[in-house]
């Protein structure tokens, strides 16, 4: 008898290799083509995905829920407010119970450590749907989107402007793994955490720039995110003051290559981290980014449950 394959989780971007990402990007392209042609792609018939949200969501919920149904499966949706998680049931017990009834679990929560505790007690693959530290599904969608528009991201330059948050940490991991340069410009006090951003603690693949204009100079892609992430609302006023000069506007975009793309994971605040002219302008691919969440996550779910197809 052969031993069962060990469970794979997707808790941070560095959980997969560059070769696995190459496969996932190719598979997501196929899945997207079939979706656009109204062709059935029922590779997860009768499988169930649990979606646990301890923070708000629009894109993550709809993309996983619609995606799972399109794969022939179904979903169960829970929040802290309507489950025993909100009444202090230990996350370990929740993991033991839920993972006996479903085939995979996606969680959006606060500390990465909470997600890791869930995964350590789960019998099925666990996916990070955003934590304070990381947002790997979004970066997977962003890299897929870049590839669709401009080809491989390897060797390209990405400028991150604004808060050194979960998105920035995940971009930094991706840069080291997939061989592109990440230039980060954040205000003092909101820097990317080197330990979180590195694959091996070395911080390879990304560089800090005090001046956002320098970070954007010659970039192939300029990207930003909200100044105040979910869970940090108490810091909102201080953050607005600190980050005010890190707004992506047309003058900053002019520093980048003429064909540079603009990305934002959304939700966006026009007039804060990005101007309406940029996010609604010709270089912006934010709607493709949002749609592509669904296609890449379908590839991810298939891969975690079935392996390479
Ligand atoms: N980008 C993203 O994760 O969006 P939601 O918060 O709406 O899920
Ligand atoms: N950095 C943001 C991303 C939202 C999708 C947050 O964590 O709130």
Tokens representing 90? Answer: 């230990």
Give the atom of ligand 1 at the shortest distance from the alpha carbon of 58. 7
> Tell me, what's the pLDDT at 204?
56
**19 CA to middle of ligand 1, Å?**
27
Give the atom of ligand 2 at the shortest distance from the alpha carbon of 60. 5
The DSSP code sequence of 4-45 is PPPPP-BSSGGGS-HHHHHHHHHHHHHHHHHHHTT----TTT
Q: Is 59 in the pocket of ligand 1 (CB under 6 A)?
A: yes
pLDDT digits (tens, 9 = 90+) for 77-124: 999 999 999 999 999 999 999 999 999 999 999 999 999 999 999 999
- Closest C-alpha among 151, 145, 205 to residue 177: 205
Residues 215, 160 contacting (CB under 8 angstroms): yes
**268 CA to middle of ligand 2, Å?**
10
- What pLDDT band is residue 199 in, cutting at 50, 70 and 90? low
pLDDT digits (tens, 9 = 90+) for 215-240: 999 999 999 999 999 999 999 999 99
Q: What percent of the chain is predicted at pLDDT more than 70?
A: 97
Sheet arrangement for strand 157-161: 206-208, 181-185, 157-161, 221-224, 261-264
Tokens representing 194? Answer: 């080197």
- Closest C-alpha among 114, 49, 17, 111 to residue 302: 49
**230 CA to middle of ligand 1, Å?**
10
Average pLDDT, the chain: 96
Rounded to whole angstroms, the Cα distance separating 180 from 172 reads 9
Q: Is 122 in the pocket of ligand 2 (CB under 6 A)?
A: no
Q: Given phi > 0 = left and psi -120 to 50 = alpha, else beta, which region is 151? A: left
> Tell me, what's the pLDDT at 205?
77
> For the stretch 106-136, what's the b/e string if a residue is b when 16 or more beta carbons lie within 10 angstroms of its beta carbon?
bbbbbebebbbbbbebbebbbbbbbbbbbbb
> Tell me, what's the pLDDT at 200?
58
Rounded to whole angstroms, the Cα distance separating 107 from 79 reads 10
Q: Ligand 1 pocket test: which of 79, 167, 265 has the largest number of ligand atoms within 8 Å of its C-beta?
A: 265
**3 CA to middle of ligand 2, Å?**
39
Residues 194, 203 contacting (CB under 8 angstroms): yes
**55 CA to middle of ligand 1, Å?**
10
> Tell me, what's the pLDDT at 203?
46
Statement: residue 70 has pLDDT above 60: yes
> Tell me, what's the pLDDT at 260?
98
> Which contiguous run of DSSP H or E holds residue 223?
strand 221-224
Give the atom of ligand 1 at the shortest distance from the alpha carbon of 265. 1
Backbone angles phi, psi at 251, to 5 degrees: -70, -35
Please compute the mean of the pLDDT values over residues 3-27 and round it to a whole number. Answer: 94
Please compute the mean of the pLDDT values over residues 143-147 and round it to a whole number. Answer: 98
Q: Is 138 in the pocket of ligand 1 (CB under 6 A)?
A: yes
> Tell me, what's the pLDDT at 198?
77
Statement: residue 2 has pLDDT above 80: no
Q: Whose CA is nearest to atom 6 of ligand 1?
A: 57
Give the atom of ligand 2 at the shortest distance from the alpha carbon of 59. 5
Q: Is 293 in the pocket of ligand 1 (CB under 6 A)?
A: no
- Closest C-alpha among 120, 66, 137, 77 to residue 102: 77
pLDDT digits (tens, 9 = 90+) for 149-198: 999 999 999 999 999 999 999 999 999 999 999 999 999 999 999 889 87
Residues involved in catalysis: 108, 135, 138, 225, 265, 293
Residue 56: CB atoms within 10 A of its CB come to 11
Question: Any idea which ligand is nearest the CA of 170?
Answer: 2
Statement: residue 5 has pLDDT above 60: yes
Q: Whose CA is nearest to atom 3 of ligand 1?
A: 60
- What pLDDT band is residue 57 in, cutting at 50, 70 and 90? very high
Rounded to whole angstroms, the Cα distance separating 297 from 264 reads 18
> Tell me, what's the pLDDT at 201?
47
Q: Is 264 in the pocket of ligand 1 (CB under 6 A)?
A: no
pLDDT digits (tens, 9 = 90+) for 32-56: 999 999 999 999 999 999 999 999 9
Statement: residue 307 has pLDDT above 90: yes
Q: Whose CA is nearest to atom 8 of ligand 2?
A: 229
Tokens representing 255? Answer: 């520093």
Residues 217, 209 contacting (CB under 8 angstroms): no
């Amino acid at each position: 008898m052969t031993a069962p394959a060990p469970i794979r989780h997707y808790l941070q971007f560095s959980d997969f290799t560059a070769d696995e990402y190459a496969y996932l990007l190719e598979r997501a392209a196929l899945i997207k083509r079939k979706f656009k042609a109204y062709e059935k792609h029922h590779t997860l018939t009768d499988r169930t995905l649990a979606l646990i949200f301890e923070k708000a969501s629009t894109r993550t919920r709809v993309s996983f829920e619609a995606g799972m149904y399109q794969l022939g499966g179904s979903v169960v949706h829970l929040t802290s407010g309507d489950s025993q998680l909100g009444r202090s049931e230990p996350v370990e017990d929740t993991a033991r119970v839920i993972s006996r009834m479903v085939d995979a679990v996606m969680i959006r929560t606060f500390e990465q450590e909470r997600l890791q505790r869930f995964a350590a007690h789960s019998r099925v693959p666990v996916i990070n749907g955003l934590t304070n530290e990381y947002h790997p599904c979004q970066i997977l969608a962003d890299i897929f989107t870049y590839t669709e528009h401009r080809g491989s991201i390897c060797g390209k330059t990405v400028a991150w402007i604004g808060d050194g948050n979960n998105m920035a940490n995940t971009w930094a991991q991706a840069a080291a793994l997939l061989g592109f340069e990440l230039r980060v410009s954040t205000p003092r006090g909101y820097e990317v955490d080197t330990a979180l951003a590195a694959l091996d603690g070395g911080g390879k693949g990304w560089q800090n720039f005090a001046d956002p204009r320098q970070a954007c100079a010659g970039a192939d892609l300029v990207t930003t995110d909200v100044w105040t992430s979910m869970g940090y609302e108490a810091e909102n006023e201080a953050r607005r003051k600190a980050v005010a000069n890190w707004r992506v506007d047309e003058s900053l975009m002019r520093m980048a290559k003429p064909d540079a793309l603009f990305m934002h994971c959304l939700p966006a605040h026009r007039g804060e981290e990005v101007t309406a002219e940029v996010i609604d302008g010709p270089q912006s691919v934010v709607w493709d980014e949002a749609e592509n969440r669904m296609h890449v996550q379908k590839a991810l779910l298939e891969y975690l449950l079935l392996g390479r197809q």
